[in-house]
C-alpha cells in the first residue's frame, strides 16, 4: 500500500513517519514550497520527492489539480499532511475522503487553526496536546483518530510547550498511520473512528495517549 506525505517546511513529523517502519511504501513526499529542509531529509531516506509550488499557479483549483495528479501518479492509498500549511478545497478533500490524515497541535476541538500554543497559554488551560484526525472540508474538524496530552507547566512559553507537544506528535502520528495501513481504522456511520484489534483504551504505558496500542 503506497502512501504520500505533504509538507511545507522542516519535515519533523515526516521524519517520524518515515523512520517508524510503517507497513506499505512511502511513495512520495510533496512540498508546496521549494527548497525546504524536509525535501532533503526525505531524499536522504531514499524517498521520491516533488515540489508543487503554489506560487506557480494562478489559483487554488489549478494548484490542487496538479497536486492530485502527482498523488494519483504514485497510486497512493493514504495521504498524510505533516506541517502542510495549505487549506485544501472541498473538491480535493472529497477526492481523498477517508484516506487523508492530519496532525494538529492541540486537543481538538479546542484551538483549531494557528498559534495553538500561545492561545492555550492565554486561555489558562492545564492540559494541552495534539490530535490526529481525518481531513474533512471544515478546518481541523474531522473525525478524531488519536490524541495525546501534555501538562502545561508553570512558566511555560509557546516554544517550551510546543516542544513537549511535538514529542507526542512523533508518537501518535506513526501509530495512526500504522493502523490505517494495516486496514484497522474504520469510520462509523456516527462519524466516529474505530480501530480493530489491540486497543487497550487510555490505560496503556502512557495514560495521556488515547487510544493506546498495547
Q: Which residues are identified as catalytic?
A: 104
Cell 490530535 identifies what position?
131
Q: Are strands 144-151 and 127-134 parallel, antiparallel or unpaired?
A: antiparallel
**Closest by alpha carbon to 7, among 75, 91, 81, 64?**
81
Q: How many angstroms separate the most distant Cα atoms in the chain? A: 50
**CB-count burial class (<10 Å; 0-12, 13-18, 19+) for 159:** exposed
Residue 157: exposed, middle, or buried by beta-carbon count in 10 A (0-12, 13-18, 19+)? exposed
**Contact 145/132 with Cβ under 8 angstroms?**
yes
C-alpha cell at 136: 474533512
Nearest to residue 56, comparing CAs of 65, 46, 47? Answer: 65
CA dihedral 91, 176, 73, 14 (to 10 degrees): 110
32, 6 contact by CB (below 8 A)? yes
Angle between helix axes 158-181 and 116-123 (nearest 10 degrees) is: 120
Amino acid at each position: 500500500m503506497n502512501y504520500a506525505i505533504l509538507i511545507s517546511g522542516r519535515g519533523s513529523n515526516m521524519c517520524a513517519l518515515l523512520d517508524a517502519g510503517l507497513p506499505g511504501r512511502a511513495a512520495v513526499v510533496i512540498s508546496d514550497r521549494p527548497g525546504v529542509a524536509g525535501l532533503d531529509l526525505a531524499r536522504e531516506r531514499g524517498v521520491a520527492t516533488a515540489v508543487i509550488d503554489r506560487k506557480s499557479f494562478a489559483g487554488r483549483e489549478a494548484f490542487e489539480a496538479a497536486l492530485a495528479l502527482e498523488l494519483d501518479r504514485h497510486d497512493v492509498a493514504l495521504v498524510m499532511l505533516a506541517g502542510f500549511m495549505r487549506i485544501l478545497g472541498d473538491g480535493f478533500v472529497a477526492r481523498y475522503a477517508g484516506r487523508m490524515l492530519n496532525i494538529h497541535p492541540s486537543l481538538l476541538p479546542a484551538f483549531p487553526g494557528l498559534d495553538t500554543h500561545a492561545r492555550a497559554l492565554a486561555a489558562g488551560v492545564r492540559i494541552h496536546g495534539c490530535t490526529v484526525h481525518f481531513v474533512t472540508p471544515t478546518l481541523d474538524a474531522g473525525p478524531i483518530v488519536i490524541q495525546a496530552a501534555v501538562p502545561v507547566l508553570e512558566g511555560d512559553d509557546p516554544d517550551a510547550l510546543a516542544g513537549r507537544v511535538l514529542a507526542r506528535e512523533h508518537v501518535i502520528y506513526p501509530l495512526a498511520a500504522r493502523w490505517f495501513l494495516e486496514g484497522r481504522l474504520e469510520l462509523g456511520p456516527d462519524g466516529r473512528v474505530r480501530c480493530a484489534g489491540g486497543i487497550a483504551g487510555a490505560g496503556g504505558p502512557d495514560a495521556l495517549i488515547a487510544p493506546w496500542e498495547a
